[in-house]
Chains A and B, each alone.
Chain A
Amino acid sequence: MILALLQETAARALTFPGAHSVLRPHGPQALRIHELWRFLWIVALVVWVLVVAALLWGAFRRHGPEDGGERSGGGPGMHRAVVGATALTVVVLVVFLVFDFSTGRALTMAPGGELHVQVTGHQWWWEVEYPHPEPYKRATTANEIHVPVGVPVVVELQAADVIHSFWAPSLTGKRDLIPRVRSSLWFQADTPGVYRGQCAEFCGYQHAKMGFQIIAEPRAQFEAWLARQRDSARTPADTLARRGRQVFLASSCPLCHTIAGTMAGGNVGPDLTHLASRRTLAAGTLPNTRGNLAGWIVDPQRIKPGVIMPANQLAPRDLQALLAYLETLE
């Protein structure tokens, strides 16, 4: 009862709306990690109480004349107690080891994932690709992984530059992304929702602003989303947006960014084909609103110093047109 209360307090203290937390698992893997954590926590608490009790007993017990002088702390009773405590410690550590090992083993056993997603870590954003046998039907997005609820998802990981680490605490443990090494992990989201993830291996100046979101939604909704993402961008009908498209293609944007359906095919920065459908900008740094987008285009070094995207000098009219165009990229 008290234990549960303490645990709930800890969970409350470490979570706020929209945050990620190991203490609020939403999938089978996070649940296993949570069970391991709870077991270690309870055992550690019991050990702590026992040690403090022994310490207090030692400090305040009545000292008789027989155990004074050099022989203090000796005696067959004390000897037995020390041996017993050591044996108990060894047993506890072995139990921890076995539990930890079996949890780690269970986490890596993939149940034959139904959905494969390729995630590439860049400084400092995540490229997410949904493969398809037909190359033109591949869907590429950034910093957002949409998955259907209750389906095991296998994530294939690779790094483009330096070591990153994929971590979505509410769903699964960490896995490092190492350049030239392919790794994978799987997870499953049991309840619909938005789960935050984060790079968990220091990867440079903006490591802290390298977040992503896993969006778990019902099957039909996910399929509709994926079908939209596989489409190319349409040429907008609106005159202002058309001008914005021209601004995009004539400026330095296509050197780094791709918009499927146009001549822009850069592969340095995130694919912008469906930019307007994303929830955040700059790897979970800002909500995707028109104002934030404008600020990001004009002066990204203010928002994320050190990011590869340079400041862009655009005439105000060009900027407005560009924003109007980018907002059509649903």
Chain B
Amino acid sequence: MRLVPLAPFAALALALVSTLAGCQREARRFRETPPAATASPLVTDDPLQPGPVVISATARSPYEENAYAVSQGEQLYNQLNCVGCHAHGGGSYGPPLMDDEWIYGSEPENIFETIVEGRPNGMPAWRGKLSNQQVWQLVAYVRSLSGLLRPDVAPGRPDHMEARSMPQATTPARPRQSFQPPASTHP
């Protein structure tokens, strides 16, 4: 009995799978939640504990692998004037977002909470101003600034900010968590 050669089928299946993965990256999900759904706290923290605040997430960031959502996040970042304090990632009044130092954590849930609840010394709370979907889009974009997203998902830098010679893209080291609060909040 002749065996059916499997290699072409395997190649086809592989091509199909990689195509589907590409669809996932470019999927445009416009209506995530019905508009009548009430906003529920997606991330909660327990204030009654020693040491640094531990975040217990009840939702995962849905957009870590979605290029469209990241570019929407970039649009929101510019339109809502995040640029005013964080610049295009380099920071000015606010801390830079493109380095590997995170005062309040680099996980998507940490950044979600930072945006929704605000942080001392200037970061305003956006609760009630942005939908959860928009906050997650911003989270994904903020993480892309420091290279925490896949490079094929992260948007390119605008042409006018591009340096003459493109530096070699490198994988960033694991982000450092610095739980040292800023000096001004010490009693």
Residues of A within 8 A of B (CB): 205, 251-252, 255-256, 268, 298-299, 301-302, 305-306, 308, 310-313
Contact = CB atoms under 8 A, between A and B. Distances in A.
B8 interface: no
B84 to A, nearest CB: 13
Interface of B: 28, 30-31, 33, 35-39, 75, 79-80, 128-131, 133-134
B130 A252 contact: yes
A313 B35 contact: yes
A312 B128 contact: no
B129 A252 contact: yes
Q: Is the interface of A mostly helix, strand, loop or mixed?
A: loop
Contacts of B133: 310
Nearest to B75: A308
Nearest to B39: A313
Main secondary structure on B side of the interface with A: loop
B35 A306 contact: no
Contacts of B31: 299, 301-302, 305, 311
A305 B130 contact: no
A308 B39 CA distance: 19
Contacts of B36: 298, 313
Contacts of A306: 28, 30
B39 to A, nearest CB: 6
Contacts of B38: 313
B134 A255 contact: no
A174 to B, nearest CB: 26
A310 B28 contact: no
A130 B155 CA distance: 36
Given A205-B28, A255-B80, A306-B30, A299 B35 contact: yes
Contacts of A205: 28
A301 B30 contact: yes
A310 B131 contact: yes
Contacts of B37: 313
Contacts of A252: 128-130
Contact of B131 (A302, A305, A311): A311
